[in-house]
Amino acid sequence: MKSTQMRLTKIPGLLALAALLVAPIAPAQQAAPAAQPAAAAKFLGAITSINGDTLTVKTAQGDSRQVQVPASAILKRIEPGQTNLTAAVDMQYTDLAVGDRVLVNLDPSSTAAVPAALRVVAIKAADVQKKQQEEAEAWQRGVGGLVKSVDASSGVIVVSTGAGPTAQKITVKTTPATILKRYAPGSVRFDEATVAPITAIQSGDQLRARGEKTADTLTADEIVSGGFRNISGTITSIDAANSALVVKDLVTKKQVTIHMGAETQMRRVPDRMAQFIAMRLKGQTGSGYGGGAYGGGAARPQSAAGGSNASGGAGAGSGSGAGNGSGGWQGGQRGAGGSAAGGAGGGTGDLSQALSRAPTIKLSDLQKGEAVMLVSTQGDSDVTAITVLAGVEPLLEAPASQDLLSNWSMGSSAPEAAQ
């Protein structure tokens, strides 16, 4: 879990909990309507230090505020995602710790330089971490891929997962309780995704869903989708000063300016790995890449920390928050990697997991004339890269390579659902 500098918008249910700031104090402690004082000041933030009976809190706006917590203050503890005080439990001041998220109502009668708290509602950092882990595992058990069809009237979405001989279709069923979110334009940050109707989902979109899965059907608890562009081409120029490169799209034959953002992922596929993946995409068999990384092991769900990979071999990546690491889905937050049985000689190893273990690179590692595959924001001639892969010449010979990249990009870029 991240430190107290973690953006508050990433904490599960924390924004909804802001409503608690305007929730009334217990009736016995409210003044009569005629004598009710002015509304108390309130703020939301994370505890950065505790000194005696004084808390220092970094607010959602980035300010540091101090508040004194007298013995008369009401202290409540709630679980992440809880939106009211119905199930809140009493807590002691000594139970508070650095990293805990707090909602503070200030005592309007306090005149001291450091104001006194009337009420403190806390979400324990350990509870947030547990919630993150649970959500990460839920996304890992979900499905992700390209949308093939959407039936808004029945709430059924058909998704294609995998690539080449491992491709399959999964039916995703939605219910009135399903949470439907869509990435903001130019973003794959789960915390920036907004609620959108099923009619916003289009054929060709990338989609990730979590819920109860049986055979080739998943009943979704939550879905996040977005429209992105896949580009394969050769680099015609590199502008290091502006963190951009120009690529000639092999499909449209047009020049496209690719901007590298702060969250752009760049990886280079080693030759042996690229050759192995290309063979699999063509339906050929061969020895597993990486000395057994795809060798015959039973399926193992990938941990949120990116530890053991889902193809039977030891994963090399590390992650943060909701599975934000190699082989996982950053999902949101950030939060879900696939699981598949290994076995390069005829198994159904998830090839996208191999790409997630490819070494990271920088813009300076690319060269003019080199072939790249990438996923970007929408646009005709000017886009921002989400994922860039170099060392892909063998992959471009396989017709299913675009499906591979489409599925992998969502599998390694977000959601940060649990962060």
pLDDT digits (tens, 9 = 90+) for 271-283: 888 888 778 777 7
Distances (CA, A) of 143 to 48, 178, 329, 356: 38, 15, 11, 17
pTM reported for the whole predicted model: 0.55
User: What CATH number is attached to the domain comprising 153?
Assistant: 2.40.50.320
Residues 269, 160 within the same domain: no
Within its chain, how far is the Cα of 144 from the centroid? 13
What's the mean pLDDT in 224-252?
A: 92
Q: Among residues 196, 226, 256, which one ends one of the domains?
A: 226
| pLDDT attached to residue 402 | 57
Taking alpha carbons only, the member of 255, 254, 289 closest to residue 269 is: 289
- Span 171-192, pLDDT tens digits: 999 999 999 999 887 776 777 8
Give residues with Cβ within 8 angstroms of 29, minimum separation 6.
74
218 shares a domain with 72: no
Interior/surface letters 147-161, b for 16+ CB within 10 angstroms, e for the rest: beebeeeebebbbbb
Q: Report if residue 131 sits inside a domain.
A: no
pLDDT single digits (tens) 133-150: 888 788 877 888 889 999
401-413 and 271-281 are packed helices; what angle lies between their axes, rounded to 10 degrees? 120
- Same domain flag for 220 and 235: no
Kindly report the three-state secondary structure assignment for every residue of 318-373. CEECCCEECCCCCEEEECCCCCCCCCCCCCCCCHHHHHHCCCECCHHHCCCCCEEE
Residue 33 located in a structural domain: yes
Contact yes or no for 1/113 (Cβ under 8 A): no
Q: The tokens of 31 are what?
A: 């003044």
Statement: residue 164 has pLDDT above 50 = yes
Q: 394 with 410, same domain?
A: yes
Distance separating alpha carbons of residues 26 and 17, to the nearest angstrom: 17
pLDDT band at 404 (very low <50, low <70, confident <90, very high): low
Q: Are residues 263 and 281 in the same domain?
A: yes
pLDDT band for position 26 (cuts 50, 70, 90): very low
Q: Are residues 110 and 251 in the same domain?
A: no
Query: CA 136 to CA 122: how far, in whole Å?
Result: 23
Are 272 and 197 in the same domain? no
Residue 323, pLDDT > 60, answer no
**Which residue in this structure is represented by tokens 């949101």?**
332
- Domain end, chosen from 88, 123, 158, is at 123
What is the percentage of the chain residues whose pLDDT exceeds 90?
A: 39
Per-residue pLDDT tens for 303-313? Answer: 333 333 333 33
- Out of 219-223, 352-356, 381-385, the most confident range is 219-223
Helix, strand and coil content of the chain, in percent to the nearest 5, comes to 20, 35, 45
The confidence score (pLDDT) of residue 96 equals: 96
- 220 and 234 part of one domain: no
The CA distance from 223 to 229, in Å, is 20
CA distance 416 to 335: 6
Q: Are residues 268 and 317 in the same domain?
A: yes
Structural domain boundaries, residue 163:
139-226
Report the pLDDT value the prediction gives residue 206, as an integer from 0 to 100. 86
Q: Which tokens in the block code for residue 271?
A: 């030759």
Question: Residue 6 pLDDT more than 70?
Answer: no
User: How many domains are there within the chain?
Assistant: 3
- 207 and 240 in a single domain? The answer is no
Q: Are residues 252 and 111 in the same domain?
A: no
**Confidence tier at 345 by pLDDT (50, 70, 90):** very low
pLDDT confidence of residue 47: 96
| Same domain as 295, residue 238 | yes
pLDDT for 121 beyond 90: yes
- Give the gyration radius of the chain's Cα atoms: 24
